[in-house]
A = this chain, B = another copy of it.
Amino acid sequence: MINIGIIGAGRIGKVHAESITYHVKEARVAAIADPFMNEATKTWAENLGIPKILTDYKEILSDDSIDAVLICSSTDTHADISIEAIKANKHVFCEKPISQDLTKIQAVIDTLKTSNVKFQVGFNRRFDHNFEAVRNAVAEGKIGDVHIVKVTSRDPDAPPIEYVKVSGGMFLDMTIHDFDMVRYLTSSDVVEVYAYGTSLVNPLISEVGDIDTAIITMKLANGALAMIDNSRKADYGYDQRAEVFGSKGQVAVTNDTPSTAVISTATGVTGEKPLYFFLERYMASFTKEVSLFVQAIINDTEVPVNIIDGLQPVLIAKAAKKSLDEHRPVLLSEIVM
């Protein structure tokens, strides 16, 4: 039985706590810490049977009975707490992104070199049933050599402008999942990026220096080409699709819906809109990623998303931003730590 401490009791921390309690039989949530622990969260944690409900995550790190931590705190603290946790000899599951600051990611990498703990990054979409099916088809050679990868990712609604201001920009906040997806589906690295971005959803977003609509093209190390399209707001909902085209064919996935119901009337033949947003769409993937993290600890095997997998999408996001700013293709090798 793996004892887990969860650092951060916000939305994603709660998702993980419930996943572990209900679905990961080999692990239990031994403690949860949040500096802003309120009554509602406390009651929720008690009902879930979490023994220690804390405000200071350091109590988790100093607790010898705890084997692993999930870092679900705010993004700017991920790297520092990761380093502390590694030094405290805890296995670490860190939410994405590790950091928006490459120096900090490098510091985590350096710390890991002196340790034997597992370190996994929370790119949950890799564990979604649809994207796994694409990856498997590609890995099993069903479509031959990869030629073109296409990822569509559109949110159901733009975030509040206050969030946009501190988000690090759309590429680091939203597209980062799609950059990871390109690597995951192809098992190849990105070599070069060219990005077009603009603000068509909400002009306030451009006023604070960000974009809400983008198309990004990439050259991959294996010679394939990749393209992503993003929007902060699709009126019909959360649009999450991918295609991989290769020498022997194509594999594609489309959206999940609340049901398969199709209503045919005088006005047309109408199916349901996609599942609303990431909590509905990707809930099972949150459970699976943590379950695999626990398995990697128990069996002392490789984690499915390692620190390099955590680093690379940040590099691609920074290259995409540089491409947008400088209006030219940018090599990943231009992005220095």
Contact = CB atoms under 8 A, between A and B. Distances in A.
A201 B146 CA distance: 11
B227 A249 contact: no
Interface string A123-164: 000000110111001000011110110100010000000000
Contacts of A196: 194, 217, 219, 225
Contacts of A224: 200
Contact of A261 (B251, B259, B328): B251
A270 interface: yes
Contact of A249 (B132, B150, B266): B266
Contacts of A327: 329
A236 interface: yes
A260 B249 contact: no
B129 A259 contact: yes
Interface string A241-285: 000010111111111111111111111111111000000000000
B217 A198 contact: no
A231 interface: yes
Given A236-B264, A265-B235, A229 B150 contact: yes
A253 B259 contact: yes
A47 interface: yes
Interface string A97-125: 00000000000000000000000000000
Contacts of A47: 25
A236 B329 contact: no
A36 interface: no
A262 B251 contact: yes
A3 interface: no
Contacts of A219: 196
Interface in A198-254: 198, 200-201, 213-215, 217, 219, 223-227, 229, 231, 234-236, 239, 245, 247-254
B256 A260 contact: yes
Nearest to A236: B264
A22 B223 CA distance: 47
B227 A143 contact: no
A165 interface: no
Contacts of A260: 130, 133, 253-256
A23 interface: yes
A251 B259 CA distance: 12
Interface of A: 22-23, 25, 47, 129-130, 132-134, 137, 142-145, 147-148, 150, 154, 194, 196, 198, 200-201, 213-215, 217, 219, 223-227, 229, 231, 234-236, 239, 245, 247-273, 327-329
Given A147-B213, A257-B269, 9 more contacts: A25-B47, A225-B229, A235-B247, A236-B264, A236-B269, A252-B262, A254-B262, A264-B273, A327-B329
